[in-house]
Amino acid sequence: MTTGRWERAAGRVVLLVLVFVTLVPFADLFVTALHPPGTYPPGLTWPRDPHWSNFATAFRSAEVAEVLASSGLIALGVVPLTLALAAPAGYALGHLRFTGHRAVFGLFAVGLVLPLEAVVTPLYHQMRDLGLLDTRSGLVVALVAVHLPFAVFWLRAHFAGVPPELTDSARLDGAGPWQVFRLVHLPLARPATSSLAVLLLVWTWNHFLLAIVLVDDPVRRTAAGALGAFQGRWGTDVPLLCAGALSLITPLLAVLALLYRRHR
Amino acid sequence: MSGPRRCGAVVGTALAAALLVGCAAPGGDRASGAGTSAAVTSEPDCGSGPVVLRARFETGFPLAKALTDEFTRQHPDVTWEVREEQYAVLTQNAPRLLADDPPDLVRLPQVSDLAADGLLRDLDGYAAWFGWDDWPAAHLRQLRVGPGGRPRGTGPLYAMGFSTSVTGVFYNKDLAARIGFREPSTLAEWDDALARAKGAGITPLAGFNSGAAAGLAFPLQSLMAAHGSPSAIDAWTFQQPGARIDTPANTEAVRHLRRWLDAGYFDADLNATDYARMLDRFTSGRALFMVDGDWESATLDRLMPGRVGFFLVPPVRAGEPRAAMTGPPTFGIPAGAAHPDCAAYFLNWAVTDRAARELTVRVGGALPLGPPDAHVPPVEPGSVTATTLTAAALVAANGTGMDFMANATRAILSESWTPRLQELAAGEGEPDDLLRKVQADYADQVDR
Amino acid sequence: MRWRRVGWLFVLPALAVYAVFVLRPLALTAQYSLYRWDGVGPSTWVGLANYREVLTDPDLYGAIGHALVLVVFFTGLPVPLGLLAAAVIRRTATRPVRAVLLLPQAVPLVAAGIAWSLLLSSTGAVNRLLDVVGLGGAARAWFGDSSTALAAVGVVGAWVLLGLCTTLLLVGAERIDPALYEAARLDGAGPWAEFRAVTLPGVRRELWVCVAVTAIAALASFDIVYVTTRGGPGDATSVPGFEVFSLAFAQREVGLASALAVVLVVPALAAVAPALRWSR
């Protein structure tokens, strides 16, 4: 390689700055969480007497265990459902190219750029009329619907890249469209679907607007929605708020770290 | 080649069907006010079986929760599912909470729109049964709402409280001694003390103005009442016809507050300071004065025993009666509550039961509501609680209490007072425009 | 032509869910925007009055202006910085470093807002740092100062999205055939010429995806404002997302909220749709 020496040095500096800027907010959350509850500690100072008990207190008052279970349940609904709906749709749009596929894709593209605020009010009333307000299933359905455009877009791009010969040979063997999809294309789409699944997991876990609008009870919300409620209640106690925020975000980070390691 | 076209037609029809929103206008008929004015003919109580009451209270005010705990101790069949939220969150959520998921008891902001929309239970039946009507009328005046939501101050009772409250100025006695401060008899004397504190390197005033809480409304309204009259402010707050907020006296108060801000009497991060942080600054001795209410008296007695004084905001001319924001923190029973009788029974218990009244004084630091002859729990002499109880009684006797002007309409706090007062604190805009803008928003909201 | 028709059966379930829970509400928003309605009682037809109010009330059109300013922060900072980072660290970044850079996008915006409101508070780390380097005079409560609050919101968004852009662009940069770089170097290209001739064209697709994603995030921003400023001080950080939420659910002006939402869709479609097209 002919990479210059100074270039490598510059790379190191940029990297260092990026890592520093990325980590400082987490570090500040962490050290602030260790100060005595009810105080207003100056930024990034290690407390004289670390209050590890703040985490226990926050764990209890933010009902972290219940919220994590709730986020897990919601993700268990959203991720498979979205995949199950988006995979055949992406296949049809990217590979089968049936008559009218452009119009359908155009409809999904609208959802891709749509600010959620444009649907949230009627969605609230619709859920109320369906009796799904304040339920996890209502939130799951709404999240599936709003994530569908991206999921379809993503998988369509994958299926569009699959050579048509694959289908043709399977058809010669007498397989119908469904078998071809199930037995030939779906297994090949594993990398695309699994990375999509991770994205959907993260987005569901961290989803805020619909969680606070459609579900009033924080214990039935996503982690981000519950954190909003926790701030609404404990926002005045800074160390406790930080401890609560960390308890609600680290589990997902841990899961992602595991996935990242397994992925290598 | 008819394929594509036919398919296009199919997509079109299918989507049109799915999207068919009907040409009917949204919404249904107005709920008929829940029609709950009916007389109560038998003792409202909690029944005999186990009952779970759902309640929504305000964070940082432990009295309500303490009362529910004591109630359960005395009535083991009744348990509570209490959720606490900050005031701004409660304010924001109240309408849809009451409409779509009504609990049994809610700490509420302003009740007029909620009452007009039929979301709150009319408590007149309970008031008659329990005898709340026999209390001094001024206590519950703010909780009465006229037909259609205005004016407030007359009409059926739509909410209740546990205690009256009174606002004024708390001061740190240690810091006060350093500048030789004596309680002022006129506004000018107080101004002088503020200037001397500033000169001595002490932050004169602890304040808050962040979020959607319009913290500067406390000092502003106090100044308005001193420069003008509390009843004129109440006329506006209660939406009486023709009432205006942009009067010369009130504008003078805005200029007064602006002078305080310009002189640096508040900390520079006022717009980023929330209520809890203001309290922390005062209790940790970093500010001399704090304009606040007696709901903090018990806390101050606990955190700074014997070191806090209190006075009502002084008048412009010595000897004139002093005004204060008063009024019970508001608790309502939603029209759709599952156990309204039990909630009403609790409200009555909270102001009549001996143990409950003692809690109100000990935990809330405030004067319990209730019949004039009710037991008044003793307080530690020399405590700030004792001082504020006396002040509350004085304001009641003088009739110079007023409601919080942030309660004028549903949106006035978040849409008008909050942004305008934050602009004032930032040194933006002209003081004279502030009230004109608030008045314009108010007129717009009252028109609707 | 069974295979051509059968495609419909494959899309229909997804299309149905999407139509009922996204397209139908979208159409309803358009309908609500023509009424005055409190969300509970009866409604009154007001024609375009709500739109008139959105376009004349400084609080409301100001919010749209703020959203456009946020695009500068959410897109204008992370995309070029991410590009720079991806170009420079293409060869140097190790796996743990990449994992660290991924972190911010796995954090809810609410948490990012909480963390940054600490950092940017009057006694926060940023002001202490300024003090140390002798710029203590510039210290302030960044979220509480109307001249800096919107920028502070923008910085939080930029922080969250920088990681996303860096990661995406890095993936793109790594797909570039190393032979292209070798060739550029043999032609005597410096780092800048190499970047322009090889890296930039190579990540074009990812670049436009970044632009689209960040611009939508800016136009639809809600979470950060909700936890940090609630639109203040004054109206300095009011954004359409927060205004729609508070109009629809707190002030119960459903018609006005809907009109604002519809108006918001216009810049979203105008700005983002082309970016998505170019990403193909």
The predicted-structure confidence for B50-61, as pLDDT tens digits, reads as follows 999 999 998 878
Among A116, A249, A264, whose Cβ lies nearest the Cβ of C108?
A: A249
Q: How confident is the model at residue A150 (pLDDT cuts 50, 70, 90)?
A: very high
H-run or E-run covering B167: strand B167-172
Q: What share of chain C is helix, strand, coil (3-state, %, to 5)?
A: 75, 0, 25
Write down the number of H helices and E strands in chain A: 13, 0
Q: What percent of chain C has pLDDT over 70?
A: 97
Tokens 């995949």 — which residue? A83
Give C96 to chain A, closest Cα distance, Å. Answer: 10
Same domain, B236 and B292: yes
Q: Are residues B286 and B342 in the same domain?
A: no
Pick B15's closest partner by Cβ from C19, C42, C145: C19
A106 at B interface, C-beta within 8 A: no
**Confidence grade of residue B1 (pLDDT, cut at 50, 70, 90):** very low
Do residues A152 and C59 touch, judged by C-beta distance below 8 A?
no
How far apart CA B155 and CA A13 sit, in angstroms, is: 71
My answer on whether B79 and B225 are in the same domain is no
**Nearest-by-Cβ selection for A15 from C93, C109, C118:** C93
CB B166 within 8 A of CB B401: yes
- pLDDT at site B79: 95
In chain B, the residue whose alpha carbon lies closest to the alpha carbon of C44 is B25
Closest by Cα among B446, B8, B21, B5 to B235: B446
Hey, which residues 215-244 in chain C have their CB within 8 Å of chain B? 229-235
Of the residues B83, B91, B97, B210, the best mutation for testing chain A's interface (the one with the most A CB atoms within 10 Å of its CB) is B83
User: Would you state the pLDDT for residue A97?
Assistant: 83
Q: What are phi and psi of C154, to 5 degrees?
A: -60, -40
Query: What does the pLDDT look like over C77-124, one tens digit per residue?
Result: 999 999 988 887 776 667 788 888 888 888 999 999 999 999 999 889
pLDDT (mean) for B97-115 = 88
Report whether B297 contacts B385 (CB < 8 A): yes
Domain membership of residue B19 (yes or no) is: no
Best CATH choice for the domain C33-278 from the list 3.40.250.10, 3.40.50.720, 1.10.3720.10, 3.40.50.200:
1.10.3720.10
Instruction: Let me know whether B200 and B301 are in one domain.
Output: yes
Task: Give the pLDDT mean for B273-301.
Answer: 93
Name the band, by pLDDT with cuts 50, 70 and 90, for residue B28.
low
Phi, psi angles (nearest 5°) of residue B78: -100, 115
| DSSP conformation class of B214 | -
Based on the domain organization, do B262 and B284 belong to the same domain? yes
Q: Are residues B106 and B208 in the same domain?
A: no
pLDDT top residue among A12 and A143: A143
Angle made by CA atoms B324, B243, B132, in degrees to the nearest 5: 55
Top pLDDT among B43 and B7 is at B43
Terminal CA-CA length for chain C: 29
**pLDDT exceeds 60 at position B20:** no
What would the pLDDT profile of B407-438 be if each residue is shown by its tens digit?
A: 898 888 888 999 999 999 999 888 889 999 99
Q: Report CA Rg, chain C.
A: 23
When pLDDT is averaged across residues B376-400 and rounded to a whole number, the result is: 90
Domains detected in chain A: 63-228 (1.10.3720.10)
Residue B387 pLDDT grade (very low, low, confident, very high; cuts 50, 70, 90) = very high
Q: Are the C-beta atoms of residues B107 and B56 closer than 8 Å to each other?
A: yes
Same domain, B230 and B118: no
Extract the tokens encoding A20.
């520093």
Reported confidence tier of residue C53, pLDDT bands at 50, 70, 90: very high
Say how far apart CA A92 and CA C14 lie, in whole Å: 11
- Chain C residue with CA closest to A142: the answer is C21
Nearest-by-CA chain B residue for C16: B18
Q: What letter represents residue B271's amino acid?
A: N
Residue C160 at interface with chain A, using a CB cutoff of 8 Å: no
Q: Which CA distances in Å does B23 have to A73, C41, C55? A: 38, 17, 26
Is the CB of A103 inside 8 Å of chain C's CB atoms?
no
Q: How far apart are CA A190 and CA A196, in angstroms?
A: 10
C90 touches chain B (CB under 8 A): no
Partner-chain contact A126 C101, CB within 8 Å: no
The helix/strand/coil state of B45 is: coil
Strands B205-206 and B401-402: unpaired
Decide if B289 is inside a domain.
yes
Query: pLDDT (tens digit, 9 = 90+) per residue, B111-124?
Result: 888 888 889 999 99
Describe the crossing of helices C254-278 and C58-71 by its angle, rounded to 10 degrees: 20
- Select, from the ranges B4-13, B254-263, C103-112, the one with the highest average predicted confidence (pLDDT): B254-263
Q: Which string of b and e fits B215-227 if b means at least 16 CB within 10 Å?
A: bbbbbbbbbbbbb
Distance CA A234, CA A227 (A): 10
The Cα of B388 is separated from the nearest Cα of chain C by a number of Å equal to 32
Task: Report helix angle A223-234 to A64-91, nearest 10.
Answer: 150
On chain A, the residues whose CB falls within 8 A of the CB of C127 are: 43
Could you tell me the pLDDT band of residue B23, with boundaries at 50, 70 and 90?
Answer: low
Same domain, B310 and B351: no
Cβ neighbours of C137 (radius 10 Å): 8
**Who wins on pLDDT, B49 or B122?**
B122
pLDDT exceeds 50 at position B75 = yes
pLDDT at A54 (0 to 100): 94
Count how many Cα atoms sit within 13 Å of the Cα of residue A32 in the half-sphere of its side chain. Answer: 33
Say if residues C31 and B25 touch (Cβ distance below 8 Å).
Answer: no
Smallest Cβ–Cβ distance between C3 and the set A22, A114, A177 belongs to: A177
Q: Using alpha carbons, select from A147, A132, A137 the residue that is nearest to residue A84.
A: A147
Residue B4 has pLDDT above 50, yes or no: no
**Which of B71 and A236 is assigned the larger pLDDT?**
B71
- What is the widest separation between alpha-carbon atoms in chain C? 75
Examine the fold and report which residue of B336, B362, B386 is the final residue of a domain before the chain moves on.
B386
How far is the alpha carbon of A232 from chain B, nearest alpha carbon, in Å? 6
CA–CA distance, B75 with C258 (Å, rounded to integer): 48
Q: With beta carbons less than 8 A apart as the criterion, state whether B198 and C218 touch.
A: no
**Chain centroid to CA B8: how far?**
58
Q: What is the mean pLDDT of residues B17-21?
A: 52
Mark whether B316 and B337 lie in a shared domain: no
Domain ranges of chain C: 33-278
Contact C50, C36 (CB under 8 A): yes
Query: What DSSP designation does B334 have?
Result: B
pLDDT at A183 over 50: yes
pLDDT at site A6: 78
Kindly report which listed range (A26-30, A176-180, C225-229) carries the lowest average pLDDT score: A176-180
Q: Count Cα atoms within 13 angstroms, Cβ side, for B27.
A: 22
**Residue with structure tokens 């990449």?**
C98
Which of A231-240, B230-239, B330-339, C65-74 has the lowest average pLDDT? A231-240
**Which residue in chain B has the smallest CA separation from C40?**
B27
Burial class (CB in 10 A: 0-12, 13-18, 19+), B447: exposed
Same domain as B337, residue B299: no
Task: Tell me how close the Cα of C266 comes to any Cα of chain A, in angstroms.
Answer: 9
Q: Which chains touch B (3 or more CB pairs under 8 A)?
A: A, C
pLDDT-derived band of residue B189, with 50, 70 and 90 as boundaries? very high
Please indicate whether, in this complex, the C-beta atoms of A104 and C15 are within 8 angstroms of each other: yes
Contacts of B303 in chain A (CB under 8 A): none
Q: Does C22 touch chain B (CB under 8 A)?
A: no
Residue C55 has pLDDT above 90, yes or no: yes
Contact B295/B325 with Cβ under 8 angstroms? Answer: no
**Peptide bond between residue C233 and the one before it cis (omega within 30 degrees of 0):** yes
Domain holding B438, by residue range, is 167-327+402-447
φ, ψ at A83 (rounded to 5°): -65, -45
Q: What are phi and psi of C5, to 5 degrees?
A: -75, -40
CB pairs under 8 A between B and C: 136
Phi and psi based region of residue C58 (left: phi greater than 0; alpha: psi -120 to 50; beta: remaining)? alpha
Shortest CA gap B367–chain A (Å)? 26
The answer to whether C24 contacts chain B (CB < 8 Å) is yes
Mean pLDDT of A188-215: 92
Set of chain A residues whose Cβ sits within 8 Å of the Cβ of B103: none
For chain A positions 73-102, those within 8 Å of chain B (CB to CB) are 98-100
Sorted by sequence, the CB contacts under 8 Å of residue C259 that are 6+ apart come out as: C33, C50, C51, C53, C54
Predicted pLDDT at B32: 44
Q: At B29, is the pLDDT very low, low, confident or very high (cuts 50, 70, 90)?
A: low
Distance from CA of A13 to the nearest CA of C (A): 10
Number of folded domains in chain B?
A: 2
B15-24, B97-106, B255-264: range with lowest mean pLDDT: B15-24
The span from the CA of B152 to the CA of B236, in Å, is 10
Which residues are registered as beta bridge partners of B205?
Answer: B266, B289
Amino acid present at A139: L
Can you tell me the distance from the alpha carbon of A27 to that of B443, in angstroms, rounded to the nearest whole number? Answer: 49
A residues 125..164 contacting B (CB < 8 A): 125, 128, 133-134
H or E stretch including B309? strand B308-311
Q: What band does B15 get if pLDDT is binned at 50, 70 and 90?
A: low
Q: What percent of chain B has pLDDT over 90?
A: 60
Contacts of C258 in chain B (CB under 8 A): none
Give C 48-77 residues with CB within 8 A of chain A.
none
Please tell me the predicted confidence (pLDDT) of residue B61.
Answer: 81
Q: How many Å apart are CA B93 and CA B83, to the nearest integer?
A: 13
* Whether the predicted model's global pTM rises above the 0.80 cut: yes
Residues B300 and B178 in one domain: yes
Q: Going by C-beta distance under 8 Å and a sequence separation of 6 or more, which residues neighbour residue B149? A: B112, B113, B115, B116, B117, B239
- Compare B73 and B47 and report the one with higher pLDDT: B73
Let me know the angle formed at the C-alpha of B290 by B285 and B296, rounded to the nearest 5 degrees: 90
CA distance A241 to chain B (A): 13
Q: What is the pLDDT of residue A1?
A: 44
Chain C nearest CA to B423, separation (Å): 5
Closest by CA to B108, choosing from B293, B355, B362, B335, is: B335
For residue C44, pLDDT beyond 80? yes
Any chain C CB within 8 A of the CB of A263? no
Domain-embedded: residue B367: yes
Domain at B216, CATH number: 3.40.190.10
Confidence (pLDDT) at A142? 97
Cross-chain CB nearest to B276 (options A125, A128, A236):
A236
Residue B177 or B136, more confident = B177
B79 and B226 assigned to the same domain: no
Minimal Cα–Cα distance from A175 to chain C, Å?
11
Query: Are residues B271 and C141, on separate chains, in Cβ contact within 8 Å?
Result: yes
Which residue, among B136, B140, B193, has the nearest Cα to B313 in the 3D structure? B193
Please indicate whether residue C149 or residue B95 has the higher confidence score (pLDDT): C149
Element at B409 (helix H, strand E): none
On the question of pLDDT at B370 being above 60, the answer is yes
For residue B34, is it within any domain? Answer: no
Find out whether B185 and B321 touch, Cβ atoms under 8 Å.
no
For residue A39, the chain B residues in CB contact (below 8 A) are 280
Report which of A201, A185, A229 is spatially closest to residue A64, judged by C-alpha positions.
A229
Look at strands B289-293 and B308-311 and give their pairing: unpaired
Q: Flag whether B395 is in a domain.
A: no
Report the C-alpha gap between A222 and A75 in whole angstroms. Answer: 9
Cis before residue C240, ω within 30 degrees of 0? no
Q: Give Rg (Cα) of chain B.
A: 24
pLDDT digits (tens, 9 = 90+) for C146-204: 899 999 999 999 999 998 898 888 888 888 888 888 898 888 888 888 888 888 888 88
Is the per-residue pLDDT at B34 higher than 60? no
C-alpha span between A110 and C32 (Å, rounded) = 20
Residue pointed to by tokens 């629809």: C248
Report pLDDT for B3. 41
* The predicted structure's pLDDT at residue B35: 45
CA distance B19 to chain C (A): 5
Give the closest residue to B118 by CA, choosing from B132, B142, B102, B105: B102
Look at A100 and B101 and tell me if their CB atoms are within 8 Å: no
Cβ(B295)–Cβ(B275) under 8 Å? no
Nearest to B84 among A39, A99, A233 (CB): A233
Cα–Cα distance for residue pair B437/C111, rounded to 1 Å: 35
Q: ipTM of the predicted structure? A: 0.92
Nearest CA in chain C to B427: C146
Confidence of residue C2 (pLDDT cuts 50, 70, 90): low
Q: What is the mean pLDDT of residues A163-173?
A: 82
Contacts of C20 in chain B (CB under 8 A): 18
Q: Quote the CA–CA distance of A193 and A188 in Å, as a whole number.
A: 10
